[in-house]
Amino acid sequence: MAALPQGDIRLLDSPAARDLLQSRIPARLAFVWPDGTPRIVATWFHWTGSEIVMATYTGGPHIRHPAARVAALRRNPAVALTVDTETTPPAVLTIRGHARVEDVRGLAPEYVAAAHRYLGDAAAEMIAQMDRPGTTQARIVVRPAWVGLLDFTTRLPSPLGGVLDPA
């Protein structure tokens, strides 16, 4: 994989990227707030094999207010997200693209899948509590347009930008 340049979406097929996309590490989603400033939110995600899908609540009996990021993403869909480890050596997957927001009645299937991945056996109880009549979510879908990957073993950051091949 070291031969692939930063930005190449084929990096998603590498073992390091696949491990991160299947991990329990939340994605950090960066987007532009209506006042033009950047915002970042940690969020559960589900990788479909071609898209990153995140869901957030927009209404329901247990929801105090809809997630504010939904309006911001509809206004400006440009996003970046990262999934990265805290281990040594670190592994960092960065994705850029545009978010598509879809309204969902009930819970988005990808949210349910992510809950099972992140919570394990505790997911069923949480899903049962949240899946009530009137619950709505926004399904936030990002198809990667640019992918960066560093694993600090086979793909190192270059001091001149890009990736340094350690071989």
Q: What digits encode the pLDDT tens for the residues 69-85?
A: 999 999 999 999 999 99
> Is there a contact between 163 and 2 (Cβ–Cβ < 8 Å)?
yes
Q: DSSP per residue over 39-89, as a string?
A: EEEEE--EE-SS-EEEEEEEESTT-SS--THHHHHHH--EEEEEEE-SSSS
**Which pLDDT value is given to residue 119?**
97
Q: For 102-129, what is each residue's pLDDT tens digit?
A: 999 999 999 999 999 999 999 999 999 9
**Which pLDDT value is given to residue 2?**
45
Q: Residue 1: pLDDT band by 50, 70, 90 thresholds? A: very low
Higher pLDDT, 156 or 132: 132
Average pLDDT of every residue of the chain = 92
Token pair 């009996």 in the structure block, residue? 61
Distance between CA atoms of 118 and 135, rounded to whole angstroms?
A: 21
Please state, as a whole number, how many other Cβ atoms lie within 10 Å of the Cβ of residue 17: 22
**Which pLDDT value is given to residue 65?**
84
**Which pLDDT value is given to residue 160?**
66
Burial of 33 (0-12, 13-18, 19+ CB in 10 A): middle
Q: Which domains does the chain have, with CATH numbers?
A: 10-145 (2.30.110.10)
**Which pLDDT value is given to residue 33?**
96
Give the chain's length.
Answer: 167
The arithmetic mean of pLDDT across residues 134-158, rounded, is: 92
DSSP strand pairing (136-150 vs 92-105): antiparallel
Q: For 147-164, what is each residue's pLDDT tens digit?
A: 999 988 888 787 766 676
Q: Residue 166: pLDDT band by 50, 70, 90 thresholds? A: low
Between the alpha carbon of residue 35 and those of residues 55, 76, 126, the distances in Å are 23, 11, 35
Distance between CA atoms of 118 and 111, rounded to whole angstroms?
A: 10
Q: For 25-65, what is each residue's pLDDT tens digit?
A: 999 999 999 999 999 999 999 999 999 999 999 999 888 88
pTM: 0.90
**Which pLDDT value is given to residue 7?**
94
